[in-house]
């Protein structure tokens, strides 16, 4: 009886992990799909506030300036 209970618990944990992975992959896909749209919205907001689109920070350049590299 004890063995059966621990087996069900392990199965439940595995199911939760699978659900979390699927949700994370969906979130990554959504962000990737809409990244250009979001970036253009921020450019538009920057221009509306009196800045220029070129004054927005490129994330890769920002990381490079910080000394962090995104590629090996």
Supply φ then ψ for residue 51, to 5 degrees: -95, -175
Inform me whether the pLDDT recorded for 2 exceeds 70. no
Overall pTM surpassing 0.85 (yes/no): no
- The pLDDT assigned to 53 comes to 57
- The pLDDT assigned to 44 comes to 84
List pLDDT tens digits, range 10-66: 788 899 999 999 999 999 998 888 888 888 888 888 888 876 656 556 667 767 777
């Amino acid at each position: 009886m004890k063995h059966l209970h621990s087996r069900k618990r392990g199965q439940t944990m595995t199911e939760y992990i699978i659900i979390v992975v699927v949700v994370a992959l969906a979130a990554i896909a959504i962000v990737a799909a809409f990244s250009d749209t979001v970036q253009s919205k921020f450019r538009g907001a920057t221009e509306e506030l009196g800045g220029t689109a070129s004054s927005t920070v490129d994330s890769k350049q920002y990381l490079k300036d910080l000394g962090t590299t995104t590629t090996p």
